[in-house]
Structure 1
Amino acid sequence: MNPAARKIQSVYLTLTLGNTLAASFIWGINTLFLLDAGLSNLEAFAANAFFTAGMVVFEVPTGVVADGWGRRVSFLLGTVTLAGSTYLYFLLWQLSAPFLWWAVVSVLLGLGFTFFSGAVEAWLVDALRFTGYEGGLETVLGRGQMVSGAAMLAGSVAGGVIAQATNLGVPFLIRVGVLLAMFVVAFLLMHDVGFTPERSAHPLKATRAVLDASIENGLKNPPVRYVMLAAPFSAGVGIYVFYALQPYLLQLFGDPRAYSVAGLAAAIVAGAQVVGGWLAPRIRRLVRKRTTVLILSGVVSASILVVLGFTNVFWVALALLTFWAMVDSAATPVRQAYVNDMIPSKQRATVLSFDSLMGSSGGVVVQPLLGRAADVYGYSASLAISGVIELIAVPFLLASRRQGSLADQANAAIITSETEPRQS
């Protein structure tokens, strides 16, 4: 890796570290926070569903912002929006507000995250290509996931311990402070490199043009389309499982106020992300096609969730959770590299945002349904059901594999704005 590419990687890792640290302060206690505010299981997961609904609604518009105004602008807007909406969450908890207000602010939280999704990854890929980096994307994305996992490990454990020592609201205030600090860091270090925003005197016309091109290179591109169609099932289940594990493990542990145990669940997922990020490029050297990794990951992850649903022993559940998170994390950089190598630079952020939208749309439906299943049948049964739902993603991944995209190979051709995106 040349010095210019190494500098880009350093900025990317810094942004990833700060963003994940800020977010993870509440990841270990978010469901407990909502329940403590007086919401039922159905209402708590419905609030999470409104969060993902906000991501569905705003994913493409904020992706257009990133492609039309710049990835740096999108990141800065994200830090401010997320900080403000997180503080509103804290106020709702203090006031024991009715569910309607939780739904509204959850949508705003979703808006904040959509400014990040697509923009940071697109910024990284374009900047690396501009600096002449010719290595596999799995290596850099895997390092990003390792940094993200380490930050999540520190933040989630700290959030649980701080909540137990003080109250459930303090980690939310800490998140606000870290996000404001990240605004300053991004303002100083993050600059669009290898990408020029297509500003236009007719913003609506420019937005339509970017969106049309994104659909052309996304849903109308068969290998990309099938990966996107798998996302509602895999990502939707992943969102539910992550948050359901907090009360589930507390239930197995036998102490509903052991918030540090809830933080431990998030910490294990974080540690698995570090290992998964390290494994991703090494696994890629062992298999010929990226879709092999994705398909096997989907089958194994779903199987683990089904087994986890029939587990009543706390330590066994922790071990299964660790394995589940590790399998899922090892596949994530491979999926990111596969998709990025099939889309052009000019619409990269919007296509990636549309991909995120597909995953979020699954969360909108899956979370309240599985939350209701947890109310009626218990958390164990809802986890087993989630494993069955995740299996639905596998046929779509098989369909993507059958398209024969060059990006599926070990030495994929990199797609640029001047090359033809279809490789079937």
Structure 2
Amino acid sequence: MTAPVHAPPIATPESIKRTYFTLALGNTLAMSLIWGINTIFLLDAGLSNLEAFTANAFFTAGMVLFEVPTGIVADMWGRRVSFLLGTVTLAASTGLYVLLWRVEASFLAWAAVSVLLGLGFTFFSGATEAWLVDALTATGYTGSLEAVFGRAQVIGGVGMLTGSIAGGYLAQVTNLGVPFVLRAVVLLVMFIVAFVTMRDVGFTPQRGGRPLAEMRRIVVDSVHYGWRVPAVKSMMLAAVFTGGVGIYVFYALQPYLLELYGDEQAYGVAGLVAAIVAGSQIVGGLLASRIRRVFHRRTTALLAAGGLAGLLVIGMGLVGDFWVVLALIVAWGLLSAATTPIRQAFINGLIPSQQRATILSFDSLMSSSGGIVAQPALGRAADVWGYPVSYVLSGALSLLSLPFIARARAADTAADVATEPQAAPV
């Protein structure tokens, strides 16, 4: 007598969201364990501000190099495969970071491993979001995408809050390498979770044919449905300024606030700063849907938030008081978190399913590309003129995104006012 064959459970919008939220929580928890101490970790390894932020620039360069290829992996072989590859790559490269720290390796070694870290992140960017949108559409979801992205942001904020506090204080009571080791362990656990729970739903990977021909076809289609769509192109160009500057602003807060605090060994304070940003992310995620209802058009909300966020960053540089800067960080985090789901919903409403992961990866590529130039330049500014000047420059650079968002608004697309999940026709 043969054993009964158990069919996989039928996917529903609730089961899809449950899996997505679990992945968001676990991944953010793993990543955030080092977010509060990463820059301090690099400086402790003997790097200068210029070298530390140049190493971060190599990380973003890795993201630029691999964003589209890994997006193509997700579109050709499946979003689940891409996610699994991401967990393994990030766990391995995080372990290498610890090794470099222990042996006080040369800058070139840090640059090489930072590129590998960028590769790991690109397996996630685009793929997980594309998996969610396609699966929700296939299972008949009728709610708003802002609500799902907002809730995921809240859950991710909880993970970041937990991870950043734990990572900061764990480094303080042990050493700066322990949070990195724990991060690798959590990523391996997430590999197991995704292997068991994540299935491609509403999307069929294009595995037939010749890989190079398929890659060429996907790239051509992605350019057609992405870069050549005026609203999508404008939002991607805006991301060059907001994304690159945002990475510097967040990571430079660690040494800058310790400097304002007056104790450069208070790693717990650095972790607490990341936790404040996480708390802002939680509240911002809860506010996303409400903010969306205040503005008739998504791009109007993005314009208002982008302008105010730039001014807040400038304020961080002009005000030299620790507690006032903390308050500005909270406000900056709230704005960024509340508008991220709105931007996600807008972009996803403009692109088709089959090229979704690749286009979203290209969007992430544009965001990362700004960091390749901005991080070393702003890090050098911090070395020469101090962190306050680098923050004033950061805020001014982020304001350059506003004309591009305005151009996206002028395109007057249906996705700018839609409240339910849509996708451009294939």
Say yes or no: does 1:102 pair with 2:110. Answer: yes
- Counterpart amino acid of 1:303? L
| Counterpart pick for 2:55 among 47, 52, 59 | 47
**Distance of 1:310 and 1:21 partners within structure 2:** 32
The aligned counterpart of 2:141 is: 133
Match status 1:245 vs 2:253: yes
> RMSD over aligned Cα, in angstroms?
1.1
- In 2: Cα distance, 1:54 partner to 1:374 partner: 24
Contact 1:406 1:412 in 2 (8 A): no
Matches within 5 A, 1:149-168: 149-168=157-176
1:398 alignment counterpart: 406
Deviations 1:316-342 (A, max 9, x none): 110011001101111100000000010
Alignment of 1:1-80 (within 5 A): 4-80=12-88
Whether the aligned pair in 2 keeps the contact of 1:288 and 1:410 (CA below 8 Å) is no
Distance between the aligned counterparts of 2:44 and 2:319, measured in 1?
26
Distance 2:267 2:223 in 1: 44
CA contact (8 A) 1:346 1:417 kept: no
Q: Deviations over 1:144-195 (max 9, x none)?
A: 1001111000000000000000000000000010000000000000000000
CA contact (8 A) 2:75 2:358 kept: yes
The one-character-per-residue Cα deviations of 1:38-77 (angstroms, maximum 9, x if unpaired) are 0000000000000000000000000000000000000000
Question: Which amino acid counterpart does residue 223 of structure 1 have in structure 2?
Answer: A
The correspondence for 1:219, drawn from 227, 232, 245, is: 227
What residue number does 1:299 align with? 307
Give distance in 2, aligned partners of 1:120 and 1:381: 37
Match of 1:421 in 2: none
| 1:408 matched residue in structure 2 | 416
Matches within 5 A, 1:301-380: 301-380=309-388
Q: Residue 422 of structure 1 corresponds to which residue in structure 2?
A: none
Equivalent in 211, 214, 229 of residue 206 of structure 1: 214
CA distance in 2, matches of 1:202, 1:145: 38
In 2, Cα distance between equivalents of 1:330 and 1:227: 17
State TM-score, norm by structure 2. 0.97
| Deviation by residue 1:364-386 (Cα, 9 ceiling, x = unmatched) | 11000000000011001100110
User: 1:82 offset after TM fit, Å?
Assistant: 0.3
1:230-278 Cα offsets, whole Å, 9 max, x none, are: 0010011110000000000000000000000000111011000001110
Partner of 2:7: none
Question: Is the CA contact (8 Å cut-off) linking 2:345 and 2:421 kept in structure 1?
Answer: no
Partner of 2:393: 385
**For residue 147 of structure 1, what is the aligned residue in structure 2?**
155
CA distance in 1, matches of 2:49, 2:282: 31
Distance in structure 2 (CA, Å) of the matches to 1:405 and 1:270: 32
Q: Report the equivalent of 2:93.
A: 85
2: CA distance, partners of 1:411 / 1:167: 48
The 8 Å contact of residues 160 and 278 in structure 2, kept in 1 or not, is answered as yes
**CA 1:82–1:413: 2 relative to 1, 3 Å:** closer
Shift of residue 37 of structure 1? 0.3
- Identity among equivalent pairs (%): 61
Cα contact 2:144–2:421 (8 A) shared by 1: no
**Alpha-carbon distance in 1 for matches of 2:375, 2:205:** 36
Return the alpha-carbon distance in structure 2 between the equivalents of residues 321 and 415 of structure 1.
Answer: 35
Unaligned runs of 5+ in 1: 419-424
Letter of the 1:328 counterpart: S
Amino acid at match of 1:27: W
Deviations 1:196-245 (A, max 9, x none): 00112300000010111111111100010000000010011110000000
Q: Secondary structure at the match of 1:353?
A: helix
The residue number in structure 1 matching 2:295 is 287
Q: What is the CA-CA distance between 1:352 and the residue it aligns to?
A: 0.1
Indicate the residue corresponding to 1:258 in structure 2: 266
Query: Does the CA contact (< 8 Å) of 1:15 and 1:182 recur in 2?
Result: yes
What is the Cα deviation at residue 417 of structure 1? 4.1
Amino acid at match of 1:17: L
- 8 Å CA contact 1:406–1:413 kept in 2: the answer is no
Distance 1:413 1:278 in 2: 19
The equivalent residue for 1:178 is: 186
Offset at 1:286? 1.4
Q: Does 2:111 match 1:113?
A: no
Query: Counterpart of 1:38 in 2: which secondary structure?
Result: coil
Corresponding residue for 2:284? Answer: 276
State the one-letter code of the partner of 1:231. A
Matched residue count = 417
TM value normalised by structure 1 = 0.97
Quick one: distance in 1 between partners of 2:103 and 2:215?
40
Q: Distance in 1 between matches of 2:129 and 2:328?
A: 30
**Which sections of structure 2, spanning at least 5 residues, go unmatched?**
1-9
Q: Is the 8 A contact 1:284 1:410 kept in 2?
A: no
Q: What displacement does 1:416 show?
A: 4.3
Deviations 1:79-104 (A, max 9, x none): 00000000000000000000000000
Asked if structure 2 preserves the Cα contact closer than 8 Å seen for 1:72 and 1:186, the reply is: yes
